[in-house]
Amino acid sequence: MSARILIVEDEEALALLLRYNLEAEGYEIETVSRGDDADTRLRERTPDLVVLDWMLPGLSGIELCRRLRARPETKALPIIMLTARGEESERVRGLATGADDYIVKPFSVPELIARVRALLRRASPERLADVLAFGDLELDREKKRVSRSGREVELGPTEYRLLEFLMERPGRVFTREQLLDGVWGSEIYIDERTVDVHVGRLRKALNRPREIDPIRTVRGAGYALNDRFGKTG
Ligand code: CA
């Protein structure tokens, strides 16, 4: 699964340049030119990383960053802030607001790509691993096999992708809509109830009587892997 990056940048030429080059690197790119639109978009769907311009119409990059950090779903979302020369003294403020990294305009595209790659690796080493482990669960991507406490678990293709998606981002809460986007793909129209059906099947396959359910239902929000399960398991 390729990482999704949201670019929030009001300079159209720069946004295009970044989109073109990051897509060439295999990332899935979406661009938004206004801060308030980005805020709306980020409530609908959480990407894997945000490239965020400092000065934006609608809502500033700093304010947006502050809002993202205040919400549990985007608290740990990797953010690279773009600042113009002369705003450099304000870097500190940017980082204090919660950006993970910043880059000063004008910058070279390869430099930005390197930062993106480094930040994604740091944020989710799981993305690159062949074997994902969480508590007593193990998912082997090479062999497409799942086991719990060493016993093989039979999963359908959708349940497998669902578990893989959750294990790549342990602890993060996903709405049904985000799971539909991430597991089924945004181009397919499926009812959100479908997610519940497949989560139910996944649970049934994973859990034996008296075993802890690794999947947490977050009331009014969606689903996540259970943090406590990961630690104690
Ligand atoms: Ca700008």
pLDDT in tens, 160-190: 999 999 998 887 888 898 898 888 876 677 8
Listed in order, the ranges of the chain carrying CATH 3.40.50.2300 are: 4-125
Say which residue, 214 or 177, is predicted with more confidence: 214
In angstroms, what is the span from residue 86 Cα to ligand 1's centroid?
A: 13
Cα 119–Cα 123–Cα 127 angle in degrees, nearest 5? 105
Q: Do 229 and 212 meet the contact criterion of CB atoms below 8 Å apart?
A: yes
- pLDDT confidence bin for 96, thresholds 50/70/90: low
Listed in order, the ranges of the chain carrying CATH 1.10.10.10 are: 129-232
Matching residue, tokens 């398991």: 233
Dihedrals phi, psi of 228, to nearest 5 degrees:
-65, -35
Question: Per residue in 48-74, pLDDT tens?
Answer: 999 999 889 999 998 999 999 888 788
In angstroms, what is the span from residue 12 Cα to ligand 1's centroid?
A: 10
pLDDT at 231 over 60: no
Q: Please list the alpha-helical segments (H only) found in the chain.
A: 12-24, 35-44, 61-70, 91-96, 109-123, 157-168, 176-179, 193-206, 227-232
Q: How many percent of the chain have pLDDT more than 70?
A: 89
Domain at 4-125, CATH class = alpha beta
pLDDT at 89 over 70: no
In angstroms, what is the span from residue 55 Cα to ligand 1's centroid?
A: 4
User: What angle separates helix 157-168 from helix 193-206, to the nearest 10 degrees?
Assistant: 90
Task: State residue 233's pLDDT score.
Answer: 39
- In the CATH scheme, what is the code of domain 129-232? 1.10.10.10
Residues lying with their CB under 5 A of ligand 1, a single-atom ion: 10, 53, 55
Specify the DSSP element, H or E, that contains 1. none
- pLDDT confidence bin for 86, thresholds 50/70/90: low
Whole-model pTM: value is 0.60
